[in-house]
């Protein structure tokens, strides 16, 4: 009888142990599953719906090209030149982070902005280009930003890729900058603001925030590429919006002026900062003022007979 009671006690112990272990394992699985789901939800921000107006304008088989008179501060003096903003939609491969050659459900539709600036410093010319790829659904940071500058001293290149962090690759002919690969924490990108204005300006970040200055500014002024404190505001006067970004630590203020109604055309900008070195260092204001704007499939217009289109842009 005693042996039977002992066996029952041992059996009960093992049953309780199994149940307890099972409950722990079940909780563990549920916790892990919840963590995975939370990560997936965090990664997949909701896509903002595209209006028919947006689709009609940006998916009509053309690009929007706008030319600007450029007054650019460089080496403590103002330089005259030209700038062009080229906006166009295209499919983007999220993993390779390049333009997709083929249609696929995994492609991310982006509004690409290619910005070019050309000006002369004394005897030699500067040629600058920046590309930013921003999701049209306005649900995450720019997927990629690249920058290059060519002048007679040499050329520099920088690229930011949106991965777990922002992955940075940069190359320069300067010994102090050289070839670098590193990561920085994510923050609002000044470069993506120019795309965001055209997609959904009401979602522009307002107030005191952290923002990463443009690749052009950080490379040409040799500033560290990182997030800086920025104070931003959006105002409207007579149908024209002004988005202002002020960096107290950099003593710099950028103002972008654009129409308050769709398609939010960018009319001009000013960029005020300390420029130059030594005795030539002073506060100067770079400016871009619109010349003309056309919409056209420029990638098909590479014949000599298409040169008149440059005349229409005042280039």
What is residue 44's predicted lDDT score, i.e. its pLDDT?
58
Mean pLDDT of the region 215-241? 96
Closest CA relative to residue 151, chosen from 183, 124, 129: 124
CB 76 within 8 A of CB 125: no
Identify the weakest region by mean pLDDT among 12-16, 104-108, 217-221, 311-315. Answer: 12-16
Q: Is the model's pLDDT at 19 over the cut of 50?
A: no
Q: Is the model's pLDDT at 239 over the cut of 80?
A: yes
Identify the weakest region by mean pLDDT among 10-24, 35-49, 250-264. Answer: 10-24
Q: Look at the block and give the residue holding tokens 């704007």.
A: 293
Mean pLDDT of the region 204-221? 97
Cα 231 to Cα 247: distance, rounded to the nearest angstrom: 7
What is residue 53's predicted lDDT score, i.e. its pLDDT?
96
Residue 6 pLDDT level (bands cut at 50, 70, 90): very low
Q: Is the model's pLDDT at 89 over the cut of 90?
A: yes
Transcribe 220-240 into DSSP letters: HTT---S-EEEEEEEEEETTE
Q: Is the model's pLDDT at 42 over the cut of 60?
A: no
Q: What is the mean pLDDT of the chain?
A: 88
CB 213 within 8 A of CB 228: yes
pTM for this predicted structure = 0.84
Q: Is the model's pLDDT at 164 over the cut of 80?
A: yes
> Which residues fall within 8 angstroms of residue 92, CB to CB, at 6 or more apart?
98, 99, 100, 107, 108, 109, 110, 133, 143, 144
What is residue 130's predicted lDDT score, i.e. its pLDDT?
98
Closest CA relative to residue 66, chosen from 271, 259, 243, 205: 259
The percentage of residues in the chain with a pLDDT greater than 90, rounded to a whole number, is: 76
Q: Is the model's pLDDT at 125 over the cut of 50?
A: yes
What is residue 103's predicted lDDT score, i.e. its pLDDT?
82
97-122 per-position pLDDT tens digit: 888 888 888 889 999 999 999 999 99
Q: Is the model's pLDDT at 95 over the cut of 50?
A: yes
What is residue 175's predicted lDDT score, i.e. its pLDDT?
81
Q: Look at the block and give the residue holding tokens 């039977």.
A: 4
What is residue 5's predicted lDDT score, i.e. its pLDDT?
43
What is residue 249's predicted lDDT score, i.e. its pLDDT?
97
Residue 25 pLDDT level (bands cut at 50, 70, 90): very low
Mean pLDDT of the region 244-266? 98
What is residue 43's predicted lDDT score, i.e. its pLDDT?
56
Q: Is the model's pLDDT at 260 over the cut of 60?
A: yes
């Amino acid at each position: 009888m005693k042996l039977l009671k002992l066996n029952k006690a041992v059996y009960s112990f093992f049953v309780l142990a199994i149940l307890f272990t099972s409950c722990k394992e079940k909780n563990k699985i549920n916790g892990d599953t919840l963590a995975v789901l939370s990560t997936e939800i965090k990664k997949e921000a909701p896509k903002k719906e595209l209006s028919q107006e947006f689709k009609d304008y940006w998916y009509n088989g053309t690009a929007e090209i706008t030319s600007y008179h450029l007054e650019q501060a460089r080496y403590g003096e103002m330089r005259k030149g030209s700038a062009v903003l080229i906006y166009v939609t295209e499919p983007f491969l999220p993993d390779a982070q390049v333009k997709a050659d083929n249609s696929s459900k995994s492609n991310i539709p982006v509004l690409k902005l290619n910005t070019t600036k050309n000006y002369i410093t004394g005897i030699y010319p500067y040629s600058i280009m920046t590309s930013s790829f921003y999701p049209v659904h306005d649900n995450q940071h720019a997927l990629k930003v690249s920058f290059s500058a060519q002048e007679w001293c040499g050329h520099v290149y920088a690229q930011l890729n949106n991965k777990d962090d922002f992955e940075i690759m940069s190359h320069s002919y300067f010994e102090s900058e050289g070839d670098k690969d590193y990561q920085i924490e994510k923050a609002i990108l000044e470069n993506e603001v120019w795309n965001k204005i055209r997609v959904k300006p009401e979602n522009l970040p307002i107030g005191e925030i952290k923002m990463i200055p443009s690749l052009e500014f950080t490379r040409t002024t040799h500033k560290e590429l990182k997030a800086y404190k920025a104070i931003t505001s959006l105002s409207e006067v007579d149908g024209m919006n002004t988005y202002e970004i002020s960096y107290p630590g950099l003593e710099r203020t950028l103002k972008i002026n654009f129409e308050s109604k769709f398609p939010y055309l960018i009319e001009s900008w000013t960029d005020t900062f300390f420029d130059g070195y030594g005795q030539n260092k002073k506060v100067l204001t770079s400016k871009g003022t619109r010349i003309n704007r056309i919409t056209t499939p420029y990638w098909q217009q590479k014949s000599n007979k298409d040169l008149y289109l440059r005349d229409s842009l005042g280039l």
